[in-house]
Structure 1
Amino acid sequence: MDATQSSLSNCPENLREPINLWLRLDQNEETRKEVLQLCENKNWPELHQRFDTRIVFGTAGLRSRMEAGFSRMNSLIILQSTQGLANYIKEQFPNNLTAVVGHDHRFHSKEFAIVTASIFLRAGFKVFYLTPDDQFVHTPLVPFSVLNLKASVGVMITASHNPKMDNGYKVYYDNACQIIPPHDKNIAEMIQKNLEPWSTSWDWDATFKKGLETNKLVFIKDLMTEKYLMQMKRVLIHSSHLSLKDVKTPFFVYTPMHGVGAEIFAKVSSELLNLHENVDYLVVSEQRLPDPSFPTVSFPNPEEKGALSLAIKLAQENGLSLVIANDPDADRFSAAVLNKKTGKWRQLTGNEIGFLLGYYEFQLYEQQDVAFRKTHPLAMINSTVSSQMIKRMADMNGFHYEDTLTGFKWIGNKAIDLRQEGYYVPFGFEEAIGYMFPDMECDKDGISAATVFLQAYCHWMNQYQMSPFDIMEEGFGKFGVFKEYNGYYILKDLSITKTVFDFIRHEYPSTNKKYPSEIGNELIVTVFRDLTVGYQSNTKDNIPNLPVDPTSQMITVEAKPSEFSNLEGTVRLTMRGSGTEPKLKVYIEACSKSEESATNLARSTWDILKREWFRPEVTGLTTSF
């Protein structure tokens, strides 16, 4: 009996077949040994987790922990997925077999990108490869390259701001947007038809060598970075807004959060903004270099509490008032500002940054001549779980606004649709610190966001001596005070999500309507939209204004305080089941006449929902909010 058979000799019957299949297909010695060691240790629960189900390809591509097994991220899964993706793209674009591939700095990202590019090469594609040798790129360079090279598909290996042992496989379609239905389902089906490796050879070096010799493999990082900078200079840079007058330099701190952002940020800063490190800004030295272990943060997400602590500390030590940050793959952006009126630092929320960037873009649009505005009607976009302050600004200033489902796959595709209809779309955003400037690419871009934010900051300080907090106050005065209270509940069992939503639909008290007319004694429902069952109370024939998905749970409610409450204003809330985590997410935004009353309404709505709809004592939901 050989070593493999010995390791499998005590394996449970229901594990033996998938593990044998894995060992037959996988030629990566590291992951083969991992599986055999788990068998040797008789760790059957862990093996069941890895082999009972297969990782599902969706609109976000693939994302999971890097381990051996069919439900994890590893070279075999990357190989199988790329075989399916390549065949699907060949069917859709038989005359344009071109792919863009890039990767970040995470563990195994280079390995996964090499496998991806190699499979495309073996499928007859020309591959534009962004990351030769030991180089990295920020995620936005992949959709930017797909667009500029007119490629039919792009793949970025990244897990964005996930924990350090995760990785992902993000797919862009020929329009340089993340894929939307039905492509996700069709690609998943094609992957299932291509699970058997096309070749027994895993000699990726030989495949790359042949690709270079035949000009089927082209290294393009330098070229596309140059084009990215040229495009940014053309569409995002306003030379009169670039520096702070009468303010000592440096004036801000930047952190790439142990990610890939430092290199491209330095290029943009020095070549386009005329801002130089240690002269105009400081970089958090402990977080400057790409480091996949993310040693100084518990979770590599700028939104997480404490993630900006080192950056704020550096700013305080040097008497600075602004901190900006990218997430590890530099497609998201965050900022913290010293409020000089209170003397306290505060990290801006994703919605606040979204308003500030949208307000700045509106100011720029207003400066355009009448002829431009007449032929370029303005439109802006955000996701339905994000702030409605941009909508209020659009309503009051007469420009077009639309919301979308959650995710930049929807925001980006909507931007393309609106531009085809003749609209000028300078900006779109989502509250999870994602900001899109479609003249660059129709996906979130943390470097573009940093570039625009710095110009806005300097412009407001120079022109009006106003900080971001002052600009928000100005916005509140014009459009109403908007305050959010977002949070989530943890589920012990994913099935609880449907139970909670069905209770709201079918069991919660109602006055003979298809939806609850009140929430407790405090809130009167004015609009009810259910994107799971396909109902909206205020549209023609009650058909929702956003796509319906019966496989996911999502309800949006607009409400006003009842005469029995001491609350003021209006409130909009969305609750949805997370597609990737055991969470039920809740987004609440209140609008009122004052910050105090808006904050009180948002927080009170959370408490009312907890008591009336989520009922932790009944459902077992838990929350720290």
Structure 2
Amino acid sequence: MPNDLLPTGDTKLDQAVQLWLQYDKNPKTVSMVNDLLKDGAVEALKKCFSSRMEFGTAGLRAPMGPGTASMNDLTIIQTTQGFCCYLEKTFGDLKERGVVIGYDARAHPPSGGSSKRFASLAAAVFISRGVPVHLFSNITPTPFVPFTVSLMSLCAGIMVTASHNPKQDNGYKVYWENGAQIVSPHDKGISKAIEENLEPWPESWNAEEALKSPLIKDPYQDVHTQYFKAIQKLCHYRDINKSSEVKIVHTSVHGVGHTFVQSAFKVFDLPPPYAVEEQKDPDPEFPTVKYPNPEEGEGVLTLSFALAEKEGASVVLANDPDADRLAVAEKQESGQWRVFSGNELGALLGWWLFSCWKQQNPEAARLKNIYMLSSTVSSKILRAIALKEGFHFEETLTGFKWMGNRAKDLMDQGNTVLFAFEEAIGYMCCNSVLDKDGVSAAAIAGEMVSYLATKNKSLSQKLSAIYEEYGYHISKNSYFICHDQKVIQSLFERLRNFSGKPESYPTECGSFSISAVRDLTTGYDSNQPDTKAVLPISRSSQMITFTFSNGGVATMRTSGTEPKIKYYTELCAAPGNSDVTHLKKELDDLVEAIIENFFEPTKNKLQPKPE
């Protein structure tokens, strides 16, 4: 390309753009880059080319568009070439076992990108190296990919999805041979292999030819059958389900979940849930919601509530667009809707799964092999239940990559992992899927609701009973939006050097006294004799936990997939203490103190969570 079309004055940027135009064969992204060059849009070009998407333990997630910082045909090819080379080095039998690739319904017409297109290109890369690919012929929920890895003993799995992110985003999620998301050091090894294989191999662009290869197999029907056979084992009250009169509404929020949740209800012999017609079919534009994330609560559930009112339904279930998460709401006697938090639903599902297991396994000796897990920023309600009931509870780092891998380790040692959850409405109820799964969770929630109805109990009433028995666990979580990494860095460094010296963390927060600090970015833990944290540390993300003298716990951390600083707080009461009003007031005061003392210095550079 002649240099007069590269008037940026930035040699490094010019070289990056030139190399891109040399490699890219997608006419839409090539045209977008050429238009930016003609317009002299240097800042826009820098945004596209001055960095490469970082391959982390969640894989990739970024907007679709041109350039090395975005999800597009070329970056998908480059990523898959690196991943393929890493797998070739790791598995001598890669060409016998192969990989699985799934995708959701996302699309970005301006750049020609879509989840299906990206999945086809990824398949072409593997086929070019003689690796068998189990490529789903249609959209599937994310949980189908880890399920397939385990079911077919494959070397790895790829799911092309951005889950609940905004419509312009897409992602590339990777699973290892154990059926769980990759953890270190694989992320670093794959990242290095990507850098070494940036030039597209000749056959990598031949998606159409690759799809005709005998190495391509469609696992859709077989996996569909086997998945529903696996979750069917979690159905415990078939007779109650058959005669259930509880009316339930389900929304898939324009994602993939509709047909799969309908099938899950069918294998549980539950009446089919009413589907929100406007959101039932996949639509990459997500036209009826501002954010396609049921975790945001009522705004995403407006149409669900309207349908529930029309049909006389008392419960609403909502999946995010790739159906790996589940939100639940229930109509209260007041006529208002209560959207349960992820922690509250974790308490309900944990209680339910343990109760069902206990009924089938009355002998106490079996308890020594039973485990439940949750992430370190989630409610400790499972720990309270475990202490009283006698099973094991463990916490892991944030994210299902940690819980999935830990669950696999425990299962390999002959244990049973009944349940794992994270407060971000992610639930693993079936250990055939070592990741969060909103499809099986929806059917299990449907059965739980139907069972409780026979006892004239609502979900809200049952949740209160759980808290009465095991102790109230009140939590309050939110976030600030921040796009400036320097601001984020300075906020956390201030907390680490609070009195001007390293590791001089705050000892109080307003009127609240701090009794312990754990920093999983640096590995500091004041509770340990040698001040070294027991949980793994991650220097690439920020995460500090404060324990307060009143029993409160607060964690501040950065998100791995969004420009957010999240905070999680919880206050726990002893069983029998039902003064919830006082607890909530104390937690509100604690959160106010945290925002005022820990966030305030940078608050003018942070955006609060949108209402």
TM superposition score normalised by structure 2:
0.93
Report which stretch shifted further, 375-384 or 61-70: 375-384
For residue 44 of structure 1, what is the amino acid of its counterpart?
A: V
Which of 327, 334, 346 pairs up with 2:320?
327
Verify: 1:257 aligned to 2:287, yes or no: no
Verify: 1:577 aligned to 2:558, yes or no: yes
Verify: 1:139 aligned to 2:142, yes or no: yes
Shift of 1:572: 0.9
State the match for 2:111 in structure 1.
Answer: none
Cα deviation 1:395-431 (Å, max 9, x = unaligned) = 1222111111111000111111222333221110001
Shift of 1:524: 2.0
Report which stretch shifted further, 89-98 or 59-68: 89-98
Aligned length: 596
Q: Residues 319 and 430 of structure 1: is their aligned pair in 2 closer, same or farther, counting only changes over 3 Å?
A: same
State the match for 2:185 in structure 1.
Answer: 182
Verify: 1:607 aligned to 2:583, yes or no: no
State the match for 1:448 in structure 2.
Answer: 440
Say whether the 8 Å CA contact 1:105–1:136 is kept in structure 2.
yes
Shift of 1:317: 1.6
Matched residues in 1 for 2:483 and 2:250: separation?
Answer: 39
Say whether the 8 Å CA contact 2:57–2:182 is kept in structure 1.
yes
State the match for 1:223 in structure 2.
Answer: 222
Q: Secondary structure at the match of 1:254?
A: strand
Shift of 1:543: 2.3
Shift of 1:236: 4.4
Shift of 1:143: 0.5
State the match for 2:270 in structure 1.
Answer: 275
CA RMSD of aligned residues (A): 2.1
Cα deviation 1:577-613 (Å, max 9, x = unaligned) = 2233332211011123322122112211111112222
Which of 508, 514, 524 pairs up with 1:518?
508
Q: Residues 318 and 508 of structure 1: is their aligned pair in 2 closer, same or farther, counting only changes over 3 Å?
A: farther
Say whether the 8 Å CA contact 1:412–1:443 is kept in structure 2.
yes
Q: Secondary structure at the match of 1:485?
A: strand
Which of 289, 297, 300 pairs up with 2:281?
289
Q: Residues 620 and 102 of structure 1: is their aligned pair in 2 closer, same or farther, counting only changes over 3 Å?
A: closer
Please list, as runs of the form range in 1=range in 2, the aligned pairs for 1:420-499 lying within 5 A after superposition: 420-462=412-454, 464-491=455-482, 493-499=484-490
Q: Secondary structure at the match of 1:367?
A: helix
Verify: 1:415 aligned to 2:407, yes or no: yes
Report which stretch shifted further, 216-225 or 236-245: 236-245
State the match for 2:491 in structure 1.
Answer: 500
Shift of 1:530: 1.3
Shift of 1:482: 1.5
Q: Residues 438 and 546 of structure 1: is their aligned pair in 2 closer, same or farther, counting only changes over 3 Å?
A: farther
For residue 127 of structure 1, what is the amino acid of its counterpart?
A: V
State the match for 2:309 in structure 1.
Answer: 316
Unaligned residue ranges in structure 1 (runs of 5+): 562-569
Q: Residues 73 and 395 of structure 1: is their aligned pair in 2 closer, same or farther, counting only changes over 3 Å?
A: same
For residue 397 of structure 1, what is the amino acid of its counterpart?
A: E
For residue 513 of structure 2, what is the amino acid of its counterpart?
A: I
Q: Residues 616 and 542 of structure 1: is their aligned pair in 2 closer, same or farther, counting only changes over 3 Å?
A: closer
Shift of 1:9: 5.1
Matched residues in 1 for 2:77 and 2:311: separation?
Answer: 49
Q: Residues 622 and 439 of structure 1: is their aligned pair in 2 closer, same or farther, counting only changes over 3 Å?
A: closer
Which of 5, 8, 11 pairs up with 2:5?
8
Matched residues in 2 for 1:365 and 1:504: separation?
Answer: 44
Shift of 1:526: 2.5
State the match for 1:591 in structure 2.
Answer: 572
Report which stretch shifted further, 391-400 or 417-426: 417-426
Q: Secondary structure at the match of 1:35?
A: helix
Matched residues in 1 for 2:243 and 2:526: separation?
Answer: 50
State the match for 1:399 in structure 2.
Answer: 391
Q: Secondary structure at the match of 1:428?
A: strand
Shift of 1:492: 5.6
State the match for 2:26 in structure 1.
Answer: 28
Shift of 1:206: 1.5
State the match for 2:58 in structure 1.
Answer: 60
Matched residues in 1 for 2:432 and 2:63: separation?
Answer: 31
Which of 106, 114, 130 pairs up with 2:136?
130
Q: Residues 200 and 317 of structure 1: is their aligned pair in 2 closer, same or farther, counting only changes over 3 Å?
A: closer
Please list, as runs of the form range in 1=range in 2, the aligned pairs for 1:55-134 lying within 5 A after superposition: 55-97=53-95, 98-107=98-107, 108-131=114-137
Matched residues in 2 for 1:602 and 1:330: separation?
Answer: 32
TM superposition score normalised by structure 1:
0.91
Q: Secondary structure at the match of 1:63?
A: strand
Which of 147, 150, 159 pairs up with 2:162?
159
Unaligned residue ranges in structure 2 (runs of 5+): 108-113
Say whether the 8 Å CA contact 2:238–2:269 is kept in structure 1.
no
For residue 178 of structure 1, what is the amino acid of its counterpart?
A: Q
Matched residues in 2 for 1:11 and 1:90: separation?
Answer: 40
Shift of 1:8: 1.5
Say whether the 8 Å CA contact 1:377–1:399 is kept in structure 2.
yes
Say whether the 8 Å CA contact 1:85–1:191 is kept in structure 2.
yes
For residue 615 of structure 1, what is the amino acid of its counterpart?
A: E
State the match for 1:232 in structure 2.
Answer: 231
Say whether the 8 Å CA contact 2:315–2:330 is kept in structure 1.
yes
Say whether the 8 Å CA contact 2:101–2:119 is kept in structure 1.
yes
Verify: 1:168 aligned to 2:171, yes or no: yes
Cα deviation 1:214-258 (Å, max 9, x = unaligned) = xx111110111011111111344542442455x4x6x11111111
State the match for 1:566 in structure 2.
Answer: none
Matched residues in 2 for 1:505 and 1:65: separation?
Answer: 33
Q: Residues 365 and 275 of structure 1: is their aligned pair in 2 closer, same or farther, counting only changes over 3 Å?
A: closer
For residue 231 of structure 1, what is the amino acid of its counterpart?
A: A
Report which stretch shifted further, 476-485 or 52-61: 476-485
For residue 181 of structure 1, what is the amino acid of its counterpart?
A: S
